[in-house]
Structure 1
Amino acid sequence: MTLRHEQAPTGIPSAVAANVAAQIPTLVSDALLLRAPTVEDFPLYADILCTERGQYMGGPLGRDDAWWDFVQLASGWMLHGHGGWSIVDVDSEELLGFVILGLEPGDAQIELGFLVSEQNEGLGIAFEAAQMAREFAFDTLNLSELASYIHKDNARSIALAERLGAKRTVHDDTMLAYIHTNEAVQ
């Protein structure tokens, strides 16, 4: 049985949620759609964070903690004017993962974060979604820099940050910060 907070709203609350989601910018490429997260997206988010794959993101997390992390992904839009998107395949409409312009306690800069489902790793999806989110941050929000905070043992995310052209710095004992700069604002 699905817990009540993990169930999609119905009736008037569903319409309210749809109206709020419509305010979140949608980004589209030939292959990907970045759209507002929905309750229906949470199971994939939990699948990522509640398993060993979540080890580099403070996990593995319990399902309740994954829920609160997911809520943070969605609520950033209302609190800071930036937040998370669900990554969807344009053709199949399959949910592939998530990308975020987020801000957590302790972050010195707005974070560009990315995670995709296990079967979608290594396909360039996180790279393309991160590029789209970064372009939005620089071109639309006019931000001067972003950081990708990455666990020092997360080789796949480190390679992605380097492929994106971010510059490596040390954040703390376990985390690296990869800084993305907006050359247009410098």
Structure 2
Amino acid sequence: MSADATGLIHHSDGCARCWWAGLDPTYVAYHDTEWGVPERDGRALYEKLILDGFQAGLSWITILRRREGFRSAFAGFDPEAIARFTEADVARLMSDTGIIRNRAKIVGTIAGARAFLRIEESGPGFSRFLWDFVEGVPIQGTARDRAGIATETEVSRRMAKALKAEGFSFCGPVIVHAFMQAVGLVNDHLVGCHRHGACAALAR
């Protein structure tokens, strides 16, 4: 089974899915239940942004398979807990085989937790901070083939710049656009994918 000319894979269950989901059951489940679904919980958004940062230079399936390991290592992605991490915690995480052991990304996660708390305490809240970039409403993609899917946009460039200014790292425009797609700030399922309409309906 392979992708057609548009980038859709037609599965035995009768559903057409975006090419990137492939046939891996973990990836297919993620595509069908999470990717593109509008997420408005600030803590969940923080977790996904951090995981997308860890993905830099790797495939998303590598991170997805370790997600529970990341959650265990990073206190369930509780920003208040992570913000209190010390150098001893960094050393502990550098020896944790359940995650991607990259010191800069680990340190960036801690800095990101502190930035999250500052935004929560002094601004509109992290969820509102992000959703304001799309005026609170998911952008609906109209691509009918994979060539029409952008890797970064003017919005992702603005969001990346704002996140870096707040203290986040590993959040360049490409990573941020992938994040936006994942959490439903953008519905970038191909139009022919069975999830495009479902995510568009959730946006309403």
Flag the structure with larger Rg.
2
TM-score > 0.5 by shorter chain: no
User: Normalising by structure 1, what TM-score?
Assistant: 0.28
User: Normalising by structure 2, what TM-score?
Assistant: 0.26
Q: Which protein is richer in helix relative to its size?
A: 2
Q: Which protein is richer in strand relative to its size?
A: 1
